């Protein structure tokens, strides 16, 4: 930030040295630099070389501090700038997008720079980013397609002469939280095992915020699971005696921080939306677990993981009233439109646990899109 300001200051000074000199000698008012917000604008932008001075304030704003996107699709990070008072003459405004690559924001990675209609993108963003420019002052960044590494905090900086103003916008992937228990049974996993099973399902241990968002969307689950912060909690929408008490308000019930080796719970996993497709494999007959794995391979796919089935249900509207094998040996089916004979009245992924592997069922496969 400081670096850029000094660089531009030097350029500005050499270009306008004479003007500054004139200004200092012939203006009664002292130059007003109020922490970079106000500036005295000399010979800038009106195109006919007329010298005039005016205090103009640049505003840079974003209506959203976080954007949630679907991995593999595209995302627009909103950023708008305007002048106060309004300026009608065109200006050479420079827009610069960075990504802050450390939590304290001290490291910046260039994403793109745009001046007028020209723009340039950098590194892994090359060819994938552009400014939306739907209206004057629209400096929103469009990223298309989104890759796995694109989440994080972005900064939109608008530079006009000595002025610069910026706003930050976070990008995260939309995802779904799902409860997971071990094939050994309920409450069998310590923290490290819980972390590992989530990873095996193409997911991560959910954070408190992710579980909270899932609870807001209606997740109700009466078994405590590990979260990424080492606490064990569970979400209750409909308070009842068996789930911490009927008298308590709906919310997350917490067991607090637990011992990471000695305490055992289930897990809450989080998976981001996916680019590939999860589908029920059409077959003439039902199959055991080994045949199911082979059938997916024969179809050029792989057996779906639990996280993939949840993502397909949540983001691709997967709806199928047929129980099918998944890669972890569990049998489940996804219902988006609840109906008779397809489980409870709420949408959700129905789970039959881990039946003996010689049992015959359908199978859900996953086809990645490259
Ligand atoms: C963004 O994605 C939508 C739908 O996925 C598509 O219609 C649109 O053209 C995409 N926009 C860009 C800029 O790629
Ligand atoms: C599934 O069936 C095949 C025969 O079609 C058999 O060879 C295999 O052992 C069975 N697998 C299991 C897990 O029962």
pLDDT at 78 over 80: yes
Is the CB of 290 inside a 6 Å radius of any atom of ligand 2? yes
Residue 67's CB: how many other CB atoms inside 10 A? Answer: 19
Atom in ligand 2 nearest the alpha carbon of residue 288: 1
CA of 288 to the centre of ligand 2 (A): 6
- Protein residue whose Cα sits closest to atom 3 of ligand 2: 291
DSSP 8-state symbol, 123: G
Name residues whose C-beta falls within 8 Å of residue 217's C-beta, 6 or more positions apart in sequence. Answer: none
Helices (H), 42-117: none
Task: Indicate the SS3 state at residue 176.
Answer: strand
Atom in ligand 2 nearest the alpha carbon of residue 289: 13
CATH homologous superfamily of domain 57-173?
A: Immunoglobulins (2.60.40.10)
User: What residues does 170 pair with on adjacent strands?
Assistant: 66, 153
pLDDT tens profile 172-196: 888 899 999 999 999 999 999 999 9
CA of 231 to the centre of ligand 1 (A): 39
Q: Strand 204-205 and strand 266-272: pairing?
A: antiparallel
Buried b (16+ CB within 10 A) or exposed e, 278-309: bbbbeeeebbebebbbebbeeeebbbbbbbbb
DSSP 8-state symbol, 71: T
Name residues whose C-beta falls within 8 Å of residue 267's C-beta, 6 or more positions apart in sequence. Answer: 179, 180, 181, 189, 194, 195, 197, 198, 205, 225, 226
The CATH classification number of 276-368 equals: 3.10.100.10
pLDDT tens profile 223-254: 999 999 999 999 999 899 888 888 888 999 99
Query: Does domain 176-271 match CATH 3.40.50.150?
Result: no
Helices (H), the chain: 2-26, 191-200, 208-216, 289-298, 306-315
Phi, psi angle pair for 83, to nearest 5°: -110, 150
CA of 284 to the centre of ligand 2 (A): 17
Is the CB of 357 inside a 6 Å radius of any atom of ligand 2? yes
pLDDT tens profile 191-229: 999 999 999 998 999 988 889 888 888 889 999 999 999
CA of 142 to the centre of ligand 1 (A): 10
CA Rg, the chain, in Å? 28
pLDDT at 107 over 90: no
Confidence of residue 120 (pLDDT cuts 50, 70, 90): very high
Check: CB of residue 178 under 8 Å from CB of residue 268. Answer: yes
Is the CB of 142 inside a 6 Å radius of any atom of ligand 1? yes
Is the CB of 261 inside a 6 Å radius of any atom of ligand 2? no
**Does the global pTM surpass 0.75?**
no
Check: CB of residue 150 under 8 Å from CB of residue 123. Answer: no
Element (H, E) at 369: none
Check: CB of residue 326 under 8 Å from CB of residue 305. Answer: yes
Q: Nearest bound ligand to CA 273?
A: 1
């Amino acid at each position: 930030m400081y670096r850029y300001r000094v660089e531009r200051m030097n350029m500005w000074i050499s270009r306008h040295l004479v003007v500054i000199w004139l200004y200092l000698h012939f203006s009664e008012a002292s130059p007003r630099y109020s922490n970079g917000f106000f500036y005295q604008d000399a010979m800038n932008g009106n195109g006919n070389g007329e010298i005039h001075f005016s205090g103009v304030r640049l505003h840079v704003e974003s209506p959203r501090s976080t954007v949630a996107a679907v991995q593999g699709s595209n995302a627009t990070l909103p950023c708008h700038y305007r002048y106060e008072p309004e300026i009608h003459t065109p200006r050479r405004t420079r827009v610069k997008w960075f990504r802050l690559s450390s939590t304290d924001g001290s490291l910046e990675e260039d994403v793109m720079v745009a001046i007028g209609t020209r723009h340039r993108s950098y590194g892994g963003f090359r060819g994938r980013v552009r400014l939306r420019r739907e209206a004057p002052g629209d400096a929103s960044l469009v990223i298309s397609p989104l890759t796995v590494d694109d989440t994080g905090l972005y900064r939109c900086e608008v530079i006009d002469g000595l002025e610069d103003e910026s706003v930050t916008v976070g990008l995260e992937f939309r995802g779904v939280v799902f409860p997971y228990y071990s094939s050994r049974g309920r409450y069998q996993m310590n923290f490290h095992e819980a972390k590992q099973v989530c990873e095996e399902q193409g997911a991560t241990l959910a954070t408190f915020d992710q579980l909270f968002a899932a609870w807001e969307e209606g997740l109700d689950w009466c078994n405590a699971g590990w979260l990424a912060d080492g606490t064990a909690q569970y979400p209750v929408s409909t308070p009842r005696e068996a789930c911490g008490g009927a008298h308590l308000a709906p919310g997350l019930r917490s067991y607090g921080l637990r011992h990471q080796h000695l305490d055992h719970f289930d897990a809450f996993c989080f998976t981001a939306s996916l680019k590939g497709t999860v589908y029920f494999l059409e077959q003439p007959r039902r199959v055991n677990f080994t045949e199911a794995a082979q059938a997916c391979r024969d179809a050029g796919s792989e057996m779906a993981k639990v996280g993939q089935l949840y993502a397909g249900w949540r983001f691709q509207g997967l709806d199928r009233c047929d129980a099918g094998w998944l890669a972890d040996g569990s049998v489940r089916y996804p219902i988006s439109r609840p109906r008779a004979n397809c489980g409870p009245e709420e949408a959700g992924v129905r789970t039959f646990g881990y039946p003996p592997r010689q049992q015959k069922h359908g199978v859900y496969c996953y086809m990645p899109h490259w």
